[in-house]
Amino acid sequence: MLHNPRKSNSHKLWKKWAWVLLLLAVFFANRGFRLLIRNWLALHRINSQKGFLSKKIQEESVELKQLSDPAVLELKARKELDFIKKGEIEYRFTPPHKS
Task: Say which DSSP state 69 is in.
Answer: S
Domains in the chain: boundaries: 8-81
Are the beta carbons of 19 and 26 closer than 8 angstroms? Answer: no
> If pLDDT is split at 50, 70 and 90, which confidence band does 26 have?
confident
pLDDT value of residue 6? 59
Per residue in 48-78, pLDDT (tens digit) is 999 999 999 999 999 999 989 999 999 999 8
Global pTM value:
0.47
pLDDT digits (tens, 9 = 90+) for 1-14: 555 555 677 878 88
Q: Which residue has the higher pLDDT, 14 or 46?
A: 46
Tell me the backbone φ, ψ of residue 73, rounded to 5 degrees.
Answer: -65, -45
- Per-residue model confidence (pLDDT) at position 9: 76
Which sign does the torsion angle of CA 61, 66, 68, 74 carry?
A: negative
